[in-house]
């Protein structure tokens, strides 16, 4: 194969109590990546949509880093053109870097004739995450590659699985357009958690998994609490607590920070409610005079996919 065009979905990581464990893929938003072989051995990055902050040097661009690692592993000296069209801004908390890393890994694997397993692709994409955020976390890249609701059971060895979720579960997302870099956002987290908090967090993790698998919206909602990131990162997001209160009072099932923020997401029962909640969130941030984008989505079951 000479060239390919793929879509790599944006993702919500952490998903309430699942810090560094849970991830889910969104529909329609994410990266479109076109990748083709070159005659020379250069990797040329070309962001289509003009995000000036995306580095174009292959060794600094997350897609370039992932591609270089994969080519090195396969001992291939060919170059690549990588054209990335993003519709999720970097620093949104919607796995912008993860989509590019996952998408690059998926696209190059297709070009190469699929030599790598899904787990290997996740591992390559994690190398990209490590280069940008300082930590090789898998929650965004696994969700983007595999689609669905993904759980990182462990990192040593890397064990990832998907769980079923209610068909009618929708997501409203608002991205208040202030920038919170993952690498900054990780710095403010506590390095230890008290045993009582560990127990509460565990109860919420168990509740969210059981609620999703058992179609129990009430249990899902009751479990959407986080004692690791939310208490700290919420202070970096203007209006977070008011916004959360408002969406819960208006029928959202649960609400939390997407990834390291500043995006906020809410689970809803059905698409109409997701639209209503997204509108409320947009109005809320408009009132605060903070530019924002809102999205509505079901959970994307496909993950990365070839576009024709």
Q: Spot the catalytic one: 27, 69, 129, 276.
A: 129
Angle at 74 between CA 120 and CA 145, to 5 degrees: 30
Tokens linked to 202: 């565990």
- Does 133 engage in binding with a copy of itself (CB under 8 A)? no
Shortest distance, CB of residue 212 to a copy of itself, whole angstroms? 9
From residue 61, how far is each of 87, 88, 167, 168, 281 by CA, in Å? 17, 16, 36, 37, 32
Q: Spot the catalytic one: 182, 230, 268, 276.
A: 182
- Does 161 engage in binding with a copy of itself (CB under 8 A)? yes
- Does 202 engage in binding with a copy of itself (CB under 8 A)? yes
Select the residue interacting with a copy of itself from 48, 57, 198, 272 (CB under 8 A). 198
- Does 205 engage in binding with a copy of itself (CB under 8 A)? yes
CB atoms within 10 A of CB 243: 22
Q: Which residues of 71-96 are buried (b: 16+ CB within 10 A; e: fewer)?
A: beeeeeeebbebbbbbebbbbbbbbb
Cβ distance to a copy of itself smaller for residue 13 or 65: 13
* Residue 263 Rama label (left phi>0; alpha psi -120 to 50; beta): beta
From residue 176, how far is each of 20, 226, 296, 297 by CA, in Å? 22, 21, 15, 17
Select the residue interacting with a copy of itself from 9, 16, 17, 23 (CB under 8 A). 17
- Does 238 engage in binding with a copy of itself (CB under 8 A)? no
Whether 129 is catalytic: yes
Shortest distance, CB of residue 24 to a copy of itself, whole angstroms? 13
- Does 115 engage in binding with a copy of itself (CB under 8 A)? no
Select the residue interacting with a copy of itself from 6, 21, 67, 70 (CB under 8 A). 21
For 172, the enclosing helix (H) or strand (E) is strand 169-176
Q: From 121, 111, 128, 113, select the one nearest 36 (Cα to Cα).
A: 111
- Does 189 engage in binding with a copy of itself (CB under 8 A)? yes
- Does 192 engage in binding with a copy of itself (CB under 8 A)? yes
Select the residue interacting with a copy of itself from 6, 219, 255, 281 (CB under 8 A). 219
Tokens linked to 277: 């909640």
Active site members = 129, 182
Give the footprint of a copy of itself on this chain (CB under 8 A). Answer: 17-22, 151-155, 159, 161, 163-164, 189-195, 198-207, 209-210, 213-214, 219, 222-223, 228
């Amino acid at each position: 194969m000479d060239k390919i065009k793929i879509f790599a979905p944006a993702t919500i990581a952490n998903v309430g109590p699942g810090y560094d464990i849970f991830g889910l893929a969104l529909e329609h938003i994410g990266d479109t990546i076109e990748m083709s072989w070159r005659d020379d051995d250069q990797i040329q990055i070309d962001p289509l949509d003009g995000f000036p902050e995306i580095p174009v040097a292959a060794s600094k661009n997350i897609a370039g880093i992932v591609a270089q690692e994969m080519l090195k592993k396969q001992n291939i000296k060919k170059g690549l053109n990588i054209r990335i069209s993003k519709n999720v801004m970097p620093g949104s908390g919607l796995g912008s870097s993860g989509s590019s890393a996952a998408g690059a890994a998926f696209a190059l694997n297709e070009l190469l004739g699929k030599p790598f397993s899904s787990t290997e692709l996740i591992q390559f994409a994690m190398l990209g995450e490590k280069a940008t955020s300082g930590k090789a976390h898998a929650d965004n890249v696994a969700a983007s590659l595999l689609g669905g609701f993904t759980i990182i059971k462990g990192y040593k060895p890397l064990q990832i699985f998907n769980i079923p979720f209610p068909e009618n579960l929708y997501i409203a997302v608002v991205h208040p357009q202030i920038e919170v870099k993952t690498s900054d956002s990780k710095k403010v987290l506590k390095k230890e958690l008290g045993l009582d908090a560990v127990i509460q967090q565990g109860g919420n993790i168990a509740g969210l998994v059981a609620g999703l698998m058992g179609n129990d919206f009430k249990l899902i909602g009751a479990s959407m609490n986080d004692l690791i990131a939310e208490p700290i990162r919420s202070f970096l997001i203007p209006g977070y607590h008011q916004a959360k209160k408002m969406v819960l009072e208006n029928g959202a099932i649960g609400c939390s920070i997407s990834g390291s923020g500043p995006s906020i997401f809410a689970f809803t029962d059905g698409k109409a409610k997701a639209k209503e909640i997204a509108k409320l969130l947009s109005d809320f941030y408009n009132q605060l005079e903070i530019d924002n984008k809102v999205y509505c989505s079901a959970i994307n079951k496909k993950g990365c996919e070839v576009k024709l």
